[in-house]
Chains A and B, each alone.
Chain A
């Protein structure tokens, strides 16, 4: 099965908060990442959190990490139509990075 799991779809209204969830299996992961992919483009690094942190905030983005449950979430405040994209969760340590299948976020006006 998948090492990193995410739900495939999320739909929100413009102005609402979006929360994208991710679970991972490797407790030795040193970094956990969120990437954004817009249509026809590569993956853009949004933010990442080191495994000894619980939370990281960067403007509209908040990352929460629960190491006990191996659960990572990305909250986007005041979601805009430009936030519509696929969001990938990834875990990494050493040379290995494992990606989830991606969550397609649709923002309705």
Chain B
């Protein structure tokens, strides 16, 4: 049972390049999330998708776009990478149990992104 799978695991980009981080979950969860993790700052929510076909901004959405391709997949795109986007990116998913209440989130192993 793979859970939440992220690709790639590592990536180095030059400033201004674009790339898409991929995430897929096999738990049939409705909700999916993208976070970034920076030293001493915990995790900060970039975007989330409460259900297939919907996406919403989180705490730090600037410089990112997302696509909820289907129920399984939620991708994060950097259109023009900047050094400030050097971080570890985590995808997560959870089951919605009704009236906005979600079960705990399950995380992928992360993508380590460096922008030079």
Contact = CB atoms under 8 A, between A and B. Distances in A.
Contact of B56 (A33, A35, A92, A95): A95
Given A8-B40, A100-B42, A42 B90 contact: yes
Given A42-B110, A43-B90, A93 B42 contact: no
Q: Which residue, A30, A31, A40, A97, has most C-beta atoms of chain B within 10 A?
A: A97
Contacts of B101: 30, 93-94
B109 A42 contact: yes
Contacts of B61: none
Nearest to A42: B107
Interface string B84-111: 0000001010000000111011111110
A2 B56 CA distance: 22
Classify chain A: how many residues form its interface, as a range.
Answer: 20 to 34
Given A42-B90, A42-B110, A43-B90, A4 B42 contact: yes
B45 interface: yes
Interface residues of B, number: 24
> Interface SS of chain B: helix, strand, loop or mixed?
strand
Contacts of A43: 43, 90, 92, 107
A93 to B, nearest CB: 7
Contact of B106 (A2, A45, A95): A45
Contacts of A95: 31, 48, 50, 56, 100, 102
8 contacts: A41-B109, A41-B110, A88-B43, A93-B100, A95-B48, A95-B102, A97-B105, A101-B42
Interface of A: 2, 4, 8, 30-31, 33, 35, 40-45, 48, 88, 92-97, 99-102
Q: Which 7 residue pairs are nearest across A and B when measured between Cβ atoms?
A: A42-B107, A99-B42, A94-B100, A99-B43, A43-B107, A101-B42, A42-B109
